[in-house]
Chain A
Amino acid sequence: MRIIFTSTGEGWDAKIDPRFGRTDYILVYDEEKDELVAHDNREIMEVAHGAGPKTAQKIHEFKADVLITGNGPGGNAAGILKTMPLKIFIRAGGMSIREAYEAYKDDALEPGA
Chain B
Amino acid sequence: MRIAIASGKGGTGKTFLAVNLALKAAETQTTLLMDLDVEEPNGGIFIQADAADVHKVTRAIPIWDPGACNLCGKCISWCKFNAIIKLGEMILVMPPLCHSCYACSELCPMQALPMEQQSLGEIRHLKLGKLDFTESKLDIGLEQSSPLIERTLEFADEHFGDKELQLLDSPPGTACAMVSAVKTVDYVILISEPTPFGLFDLNLAVETVRQLGLPFSVVINRDGIGNNDIYKYLEKEKIQLLAKIPHQREIAEMYSRGEIIYQQVPAVDEALNQILSKIRSLS
Q: List the interface of chain A (C-beta within 8 A of B).
A: 47-51, 53-54, 56-57, 60, 75-76, 79-80, 83-84
Q: Give the size of the chain B interface in residues (CB under 8 angstroms).
A: 14
**Complex contact A53–B86 (CB within 8 A):** no
When distances are taken between beta carbons in the complex, the residues of chain B under 8 Å from A79 are 94
Q: Is the interface of A mostly helix, strand, loop or mixed?
A: helix
Closest-by-CB residue of A relative to B76 is: A57
**Complex contact B94–A76 (CB within 8 A):** yes
**Additional pairs, 20, CB under 8 Å, beyond known A48-B81, A50-B82, A53-B92:** A49-B82, A49-B97, A50-B79, A50-B94, A53-B83, A53-B94, A53-B97, A57-B85, A57-B86, A57-B87, A60-B87, A60-B88, A75-B96, A76-B97, A79-B94, A80-B92, A83-B87, A83-B90, A83-B92, A84-B87
User: Given the known A-B contacts A50-B97, A53-B94, A75-B96, are A80 and B81 also in contact in the complex, defined by CB atoms under 8 Å?
Assistant: no
Could you tell me the distance between the alpha carbons of A85 and B168 in the complex, rounded to whole angstroms? 49
A-B contact list, 5 entries, CB within 8 Å:
A50-B94, A53-B85, A57-B86, A75-B96, A76-B94
B175 to chain A, nearest CB (A): 12
When distances are taken between beta carbons in the complex, the residues of chain A under 8 Å from B56 are none
B51 to chain A, nearest CB (A): 39
Closest-by-CB residue of A relative to B95 is: A76
Could you tell me the distance between the alpha carbons of A48 and B79 in the complex, rounded to whole angstroms? 12
B237 to chain A, nearest CB (A): 30
When distances are taken between beta carbons in the complex, the residues of chain A under 8 Å from B94 are 50, 53, 76, 79-80
Could you tell me the distance between the alpha carbons of A56 and B82 in the complex, rounded to whole angstroms? 11
When distances are taken between beta carbons in the complex, the residues of chain A under 8 Å from B86 are 57
**Complex contact A56–B81 (CB within 8 A):** no
Closest-by-CB residue of B relative to A47 is: B82
Closest-by-CB residue of A relative to B83 is: A50
Q: Does B80 contact A (CB under 8 A)?
A: yes
Query: Which of A48, A56, A84 is the one whose CB lies under 8 Å from B85?
Result: A56
Could you tell me the distance between the alpha carbons of A106 and B229 in the complex, rounded to whole angstroms? 59
**Complex contact B82–A53 (CB within 8 A):** yes
Closest-by-CB residue of B relative to A81 is: B87
Query: Which of A50, A57, A83 is the one whose CB lies under 8 Å from B81?
Result: A50
**Complex contact A54–B82 (CB within 8 A):** yes
When distances are taken between beta carbons in the complex, the residues of chain A under 8 Å from B81 are 48-50
Could you tell me the distance between the alpha carbons of A23 and B98 in the complex, rounded to whole angstroms? 23
